[in-house]
Structure formats: C-alpha cells, structure tokens
Structure 1
Amino acid sequence: MATSSEIRAELAHPVIDADGHVLEYLPAVEPHLREALGPAAFDRYRSASSPLQRIMEADTEARLATRTPQSAWWGTPAAASDLATAAAPALMHERMDELGLDVAVLYPTKGFGIAGIADDELRAGVCRGFNEFYAATYGPYADRLTVAGVIPMHTPTEALEGLAHCAELGFKVVAFPEGVTREIPEPVLEGGSPFLLPGQRHWFDSFGLDSAYDYDPVWARARELGFAVTFHGGLGHMPTGSFTSVSNYSSNHVGSFAQRMHTLVKSLFMGGVTRRHPDQGFAVLECGVGWAAILLNDLVDHWEKRRPEGLEALDPAGIDWDELEALMRRHAPDLLAAGDDVRAGLATIPGIGVPPAERDEWRHLGASTSGELVDLFAGSFYFGCEADDRTIAYAFSPANHDGFTLRPIFSSDIGHWDAGDPAGVVAEAFELVEDGILTEAQLAELVYENPARLFLDQNPDFFVGTPVADHAATLVDA
C-alpha cells in the first residue's frame, strides 16, 4: 500500500488540511494569559475550576445523580511521536512531507470552551491570551502551518474586537463557536411549551434566525479583513445535543458535530445571512457533509410547499365546510355520531394553529426559484470531512435537487483520537478513490480546490509564501 507521501508525489495538485489540531503545552500558554488578563483576573481564572475538567473527572455515580454526560476519555494518541507532532510546531513542520500535506490549518484543543466562558472579562482575556500564544508559537512556521485565532461571540462588539486583535497578530484564519448559550428573559417554569424542557431557563443562539443580536457587522468585517468564517464545535459552550449518555462517550460523540452544525447552518441560511453576504465563505468543521445534502434537499421540499404560493393550498379559509360535512356523513357517519355539535367536531380535524405575524418564512432568502435557493446554500457553505468519511460522496450525488453539489473540505483531525496515524491520513483519503467512492476529480475538490477557494475568495494572498502559491495563483485568476 502506498504511503501518504508517495500518494502526494503522484497527485497533480496540493493537499490542504483544512482542520488539524494543536495540543497546547499549557505552561507556555499561561504567561500569555497572565499578560492578557492582568494579575487579578488571571488569579481569578486560575482559581476557578474548569467545568470541562469537572465533567471529565466525574465518576459514574456522580454522572448518574446529575445526568452529566460521559465526555471524552483517552482522546489523544499515545504514541510519543504523534503527541509531540501536535504539540511542537517545529516537528509538525518537519513531518509535513511525510504526512503528505502541503499546508495545514490548525485549530485548538485545550482552547475548547474558551469562547463560552460566562464571565465577560475572563472570556475576552482568555481568548486574547490563547491567540497570542498561537501567534507567537506558530508564526515562525507560517509557510506551511497556520493556527486559527478564536473569536468570542457573546455580542457583536466583542467579536469585532476579537477580529481586530487577530488581524493585528497576523492571523490568516479565525474560528467562531457554533453558538452562545443565553438566559431566557422570562422562563415559564411550569406549564410551558412542550418544545422546552420543564423548567428550562436557557436557549442556544446560533447567530442567524431569531438571534438576540444582528451579527451582520461581524460577517462584513471578517470579509474586510480577509477572513473566511470558520466554525468549530466545542469552542464555546457545548449544548447537550446528542450528549445524553452518562456512560458511553462513543454514543455521545457519534453525530454530535453534525447535529450542532445542522442547527447553525439552518439558522444562518434561514436568517438570510448567505443572501446578505453572498461573497463570504462559511465553513463548518469536523461534521461531515452527508447530513448537509439531506438538509438542503429537505429545505427545497419545504420551500416548494410552504413558500407563499404553496400556502394557498393550506389556507383554512379555503375549507368548504359543507362539502367536508357531506363527505364525512357519507364515509364516516359513525364518527359524526360521537358528538352533539357536528360543526364543532369538524373544526377539530384540520391542524390550523395561530399563524405568525409574518407568514412568509422564506422572506430572508428572497429566492423565487428552487435553483436560487440552492445557490444561496451550496455557494456559501463548506463542510469539514475526515479522511475515512464515505458519505463525502453524498455531496456529489445525482439525487440532489437541481443537480447541486456541495463543498466538502479535507480535515485530518491530526492531534485527536479519530485521526489515527497522522502519516496515514492522506492515504486513507485516497482509498475513497481506490474503492470507487470518489473520482480523482472529486478528490481534488476535497483536498485542494474547495479548501483553497474557501480562503482565497476572502484573501487572494492567503497562500503567498507557501508551497501552494503557484497552484493557488491559477485558482485566483480563474
């Protein structure tokens, strides 16, 4: 079997890793945190116990009593060479040819959760400190490695400040959390909605439809600064989602990133973000793409039946009650005999509900055809896919509405347990071609063209000074 480096040597195009991971050496992070927070806030941060650490250390009895989900355990490789590769940028840089990678975009690990810190001062300071560590530690290796800066998103103001700071530090990539947990202003603690948990006090804001804030200035400023918008699950507060088992991490992990990003993508799309920012790329990472093909097909089906023109066939004003009664008397007289007031009984048949003040639920999209609807989705979103993900083929399926294709981007996940042997990741991706799952042209889209366009469309100079520069220049000019 060919190695990753041998496969890369045979390819006519680069291989861009759109989502690997660093393993932060925390003693080296702390001076940056102390500087960013100041002595008092740093001491406060150090003295506060980490919710994530408490969750990871909880025993079975405590989990059962509190319904605390089982989180990750043994989540990184045990081989010293692989641990050191994710922790030491010089070693990762040295191994890039062995790994079969031309350029790698890297995301945090110990930085998970920092954009979800509830305390405003600590959240902003901790994100600044981690970002300063990433810039200082990985900056010297920028010809092949680039780490994403973390942007807190509790308000547009702090996000704009974070973007400015990342630009000052020289970042080329920024990472956003998939949402923000907010308090419900007036929670109904008894007899509330059946769609809320009993006594629910919080909701999850996904920055698009029905958001507490207008985040359009954030997306616009990201584009002005040359940043693609990338979302990585776990950077903020982690909603329960599929994490419901108190004993089984694998059960919790399966589908969890897809579930989070499904909510986010739907929120951004239905909120009209891709219509108002058609030139901004939005990437959702480590989540696969199969679910996104299902989502877009489902959106088109819903649009066809529930856009204003489709609603005409559903308007209860069009019910002919005399005809309905006649049909029921002819075909279900035994049912009508069950009540004293036939018309009142007939009124219980249709599902009417109370329409919202604005009945056009697709108004933020402004699409007049299904093709326009598809373009607003498929032309804006990119989907992080790991090397062994056979459902990447769904992005190119002939079953997709209007023949759409989606944009999967290659994500090694190096540094985490599911990457396996870092030196085997590219070879594993090439197996999709050998097994007839992808064509060579589709592999090129996955590992090169799509990730390159994600970043080049925002910053034409993104790959200047890297081994990808000459190839990328042809995409810029195309």
Structure 2
Amino acid sequence: MTILKDLKAKQSRAAQLRSQLDFPVIDTDIHTNAYSPALEDYIAQYGGSRVVDVFRSHLKSNGLNALAAEWYNASPEERQNRRLFRPPFWALPSENTYDLATVALPGLLYERLEELGTDYAVLYPNLALFPINSSNDDLRLSLTRAINHFHADIYKPYADRLTPVAAIPLNTPQEGIEELEFAQKLGLKAALIPGAVRRPIQAVAEKYPEDSDLRRYAYWLDFFGIDSEYDYDPFWQKSVDLGINLSTHSGSQSWVARNSPSNYMFNHINHFADASEALAKALFFGGVTERIPQLRIALLEAGAAWGQNVLTHLVDRFEKRGNEHVQQYNPERLNRELAIELYRQYGHTLYQGRELNEQEIIESLFGVASTSRFQAQKPEEINDFALAKIQTKQDIWDRWVPNFYFGNEADDRTIVGALNPKGNPFGQKINALYSSDSGHWDVPELTEPLAETWDLVQEGAITAEDFKSLVFTNPYQFYTANNPDFFKGTQVEHKLKNNQAA
C-alpha cells in the first residue's frame, strides 16, 4: 500500500502541462488488455465452448497468431529454410507494473487519466486485432462480437472520458456492415478495421488444392479499394451513415521485405507506415475517396510523415503520367522519321558493317522486342488516375487530405516533416493526430507522452499551434466529421463549455 500511495502522490510532467492548457487533450490511441475470465463469458455466449477453447489456446501461446507460434516451435535451421519471420516479442512494458495494470483495469485508467494529461482517450483493445485478421469465419465473427460486447459493457461507466473502438472484420463488405450496426447498438462510436485481407491466389489454389504450405505463401493482399475482390463501397458508406469513423493498426511484418527469420526490429521499423500507405493508396486509386468524400480513416502507429510523402508523390506522378500527360510516353507518338534520320547522322559507328534496319532502330529506342504490348484497350489501363477522377492537382488534395488522418506517436520526430507546409506542393499541413500508443512497449511510462510532444515545441521542432492541432483540433475534427455529437456528455464538451464561459 505504501508503494501505491507513493506512486499516486507523484505529479507528472503531463499533468503539469495540461493544467496550463486552455483546450482539451484527446489521445486517439491507448491500448488496453482484457481480464480473460470475464471475457470468456461473452465468448461462450456468441461462440460456444469450442471458441472459448480456441481463445484459451491463443492466450497460452502468449497471444501469438499461428504464423508467429510456428516460429517459436521451429529450430533456427527450419526458420531459415521456411522463411518464418521473426515475430514481435516482449510487447508490453512489464517492468512498470503500475502502468501494465492501468491499461488492464478500466477504473484505474479512468482515475489516472488526469495524471496522463489527457481529457479523453480512444481505446484499442489488444485482443481486437486477433479475430478480425483470422481467416476462420466462425472464429472471426463470434469472437469479434464477443469482444465488442465485452468492452462496451466494461467501459460504459467511464464514457465521459474513455471509449473503446469496435473491432470490425472485413473479409466481406456484408460482415463489416453487420458488425458496424451491432456496434452502434452497443453504443460504440469508433471502429477498428484490418488494413488488408489475405486471399488465396486462385490459380495456385486450384492447381495445388492439397498443398497448404504453398498456398500459405502464395497469397495476395486485398486492400478493399483498387483490384478488390468485392465492392466495399456499401461498407464505407455505412460507416459514414452511422457516424462511426474508422481506423487501422495493421502492419506489414512478414511481407516480402519484412521477412527476417532472426531480427524483430528489421521486420518492425516502418511496417505500419507501409501497410497504411497501401490501404490509403488503394482507396485513392480505386476512386473510393472520390465516390464517398465523407469517408474518414485514421491510420495509426505509422507516423504522419509518410502521408505527406505520398501526397507529394501523387502530384509529381500525376503531372507526368496523369490523364493526357501519359500520352507523351505513347510509342505511337514517336517521330519515326526524326529518329531514323538521327541514327543516320550520328549512329554510323554503331551499325558500321551492318545494313541499316529502320525497324531495329525503333525497337532499340524502346529496349524491347516489340511496341505492341503497350496498346492497352481501356482508359483506366492507360491512365492510372482515371478511377479517382483526377483532373487537376487540387483534386489530389481533395481526395487525400480530408479523408486520411495520420496517427503520430509522442516521441516520433518525423512529425516535423509532416507539419512542414513547404514539404508538399500545396503549402498546407496534413492532418496528424496525437496517438500515444500507450500500453505497448514503446511507451514505458504512461505519463510521459504528452510531455514528450511538448518537448518538440520547446526545442523549436514544431509550433505551439501544431501542438494544439495534434492533441485537440485534428482529433476533434476527425471524430465529429460524421458524428457532431461524438463528444456530447464527455469531459471534452465540459471543458470547452467552461473555456467559453471564462
């Protein structure tokens, strides 16, 4: 008891900072753990005893998915030969017992929120990622529903300061719609979706129907936009209609360039950014953000700098290959007479002793045997920006910036590039979110993230106005974009009213 009393007596840097702010602080990303015996009652309700057994097995393997568990059960030689990627390990701040218990006990987290310098937090149960990425239909659907119901119930008494996200599976648009509707009935206001779904390559699955190992490696990633197996527009529109804005934490560990059998950090660094970039580009190039401009997605744990980088590259590529611009590379526009004449005047040392062949000259210019392969039939096969209906550079801004918000962890200094208005062709800042990622190994002390973000202001890396945008303006804008009442009855609303009265 003395230890606990001493811990509570400490005043954090974050609490001191928050007392000086005239706006609320909204943390868009705190990870929580669940008390599994209580959760099992919900799992039994929706999935029966069999799913409870699967869940217990998952916990016994320390929460590892099947691929990760394989790594631990294999010898070093097997890991190398089978290219089993080194999975995450020691993912929680175990030495800091007080903080580890905090993210597992709703009442304690609620009590300590002032100490964290936070007025309101959006919570991401660590278990939520397990079912929505499962290919087992029964397990995915029943366990997702149980987890959502469980978290809605245990956090309901703390709704003025805490809200858990709903886990939403997306193997099909319909299952996503059904879970969104169920989440709304539970009172859940935000949602977590997978960044992609692994699907079998049909030709491989048909040719080798019994070879599970081969099919495990021969898959493609469906990012729900360009080239998707389904039309996900009804799901995106449903999220807008229900006022439940979406987010993702999905990563790319085990992808081809992140498949080290021995080094977790090799696989980890920037993997969230790679996965988020793929999802966002799929929605952009697939025309989703053009057809459903109200769609809002928070791409978390990836830093914000990549969002600025992609925006800049989209403009660069469009100005060279978008719409009519791409025609400057059309082989049919080659001035054959000029090319042949230039070879006659300057290329005689190249074809000395050979008979000048005009067709060989043309083929040599392109470095291919034939130019016929370039004759695409459909406009979208020639113009990669066609589905997004990009006509001007401004259209790129309109299809990218309002739709995507980029979660940035407190000590991630790449935010400097993301908030540099000279870093993109528009001279404006993208939407970055304060996302502490508390509850994971990169936050060994819960009370430090807000203060660490303010450290960047004191060092001159970002401005005080940037800080306000990160911790309040952008999060508030994101959550209220499709649900103006998102913060109704919360500490955020209370603080804003008090500030106005003052």
Fold match, TM over 0.5? yes
C-alpha distance in 2 between matches for 1:313 and 1:187: 38
The verdict on how the C-alpha distance between 1:26 and 1:349 changes in structure 2, with shifts beyond 3 A counting, is: farther
Return 134-143 or 207-216, whichever deviates more: 134-143
Cα deviations across residues 281-338 of structure 1 (Å, max 9, x unaligned)? 1111110111111111111111111122202322211112221122123333333348
Superposed CA offset, 1:401-441 (max 9, x none): 12132100011111100122111111001011011111000
Of 467, 483, 488, 1:443 maps to 467
Matches within 5 A, 1:180-329: 180-187=197-204, 201-233=218-250, 240=255, 242-329=257-344
Amino acid at match of 2:223: S
Displacement of 1:356: 5.3
Q: Percent identity?
A: 35
Of 337, 348, 365 in structure 2, the residue corresponding to residue 349 of structure 1 is 365
* Conservation of the 8 A alpha-carbon contact between 2:201 and 2:220: yes
Shift of 1:55: 4.4
Q: Which amino acid aligns with 1:271?
A: G
> Structure 1 68/323 Cα, relative in aligned 2: closer, same or farther at 3 Å?
same
Residue number in structure 2 paired with 1:10: 20
How far did residue 278 of structure 1 move? 1.2
- The TM-score normalised by the length of structure 2 is 0.87
Mark the CA change 1:2 to 1:169 in structure 2 (over 3 Å): closer, same or farther.
closer
* CA drift at 1:100: 0.4
Structure-2 separation of matches of 1:414 and 1:456: 23
TM-score (norm 1): 0.91
Larger CA deviation: 419-428 vs 39-48: 39-48
What's 1:194 paired with? none
Q: Which moved more, 1:32-41 or 1:92-101?
A: 32-41
Helix, strand or coil at the partner of 1:335: coil
DSSP 3-state at the match of 1:419: coil
Matching residue's letter, 1:65:
N
Q: Structure 1's 29 and 52: CA in aligned 2 closer, same or farther, altered over 3 A?
A: farther
Tell me what 1:364 maps to: 387
State the Cα distance separating 1:374 from its structure 2 match: 1.3
Distance 1:230 1:189, change over 3 A: same
Shifted more, 466-475 versus 384-393: the winner is 466-475
1:279–1:53 Cα change, 3 Å:
same
Q: Which residue of 2 aligns with 1:75?
A: 91
Aligned 1:384-399 pairs, distance under 5 A? 384-397=407-420, 398-399=422-423
Return the alpha-carbon distance in structure 2 between the equivalents of residues 427 and 248 of structure 1: 31
Comparing 390-399 and 43-52, the one that deviates more: 43-52
8 Å CA contact 2:12–2:116 kept in 1: the answer is no
* Aligned pairs, number: 467
Is 391-400 or 49-58 further displaced after alignment? 49-58
1:173 partnered with 2:197: no
Aligned-residue offset at 1:395: 2.4
Runs of 5+ unmatched residues, structure 1: 191-196
Find out whether 1:19 has 2:29 as its counterpart.
Answer: yes
| CA distance in structure 2 between the aligned counterparts of 1:338 and 1:207, rounded to whole angstroms | 57
C-alpha separation between the residues in 2 aligned to 1:81 and 1:339?
Answer: 82
Aligned with residue 85 of structure 1, among 98, 102, 105? 102
Amino acid at match of 1:116: N
Contact 1:5 1:98 in 2 (8 A): yes
CA distance in structure 2 between the aligned counterparts of 1:124 and 1:339, rounded to whole angstroms: 70
Query: Partner of 1:460: helix, strand, or coil?
Result: coil
The answer as to whether partners of 2:253 and 2:267 remain within 8 angstroms in 1 is no
Q: How many Å separate the matches in 2 of 1:474 and 1:305?
A: 52
Query: Which position in structure 2 is the counterpart of 1:120?
Result: 137
Secondary structure of 1:27's aligned partner = helix
Select 2:490's aligned residue among 453, 466, 474.
466
Structure 1 residues 332 and 425, CA gap change in structure 2 (3 angstroms):
same
Contact 1:55–1:70 at 8 Å: present in 2 too?
Answer: no
Aligned residues of 2:432 and 2:474 also touching (Cα < 8 A):
yes
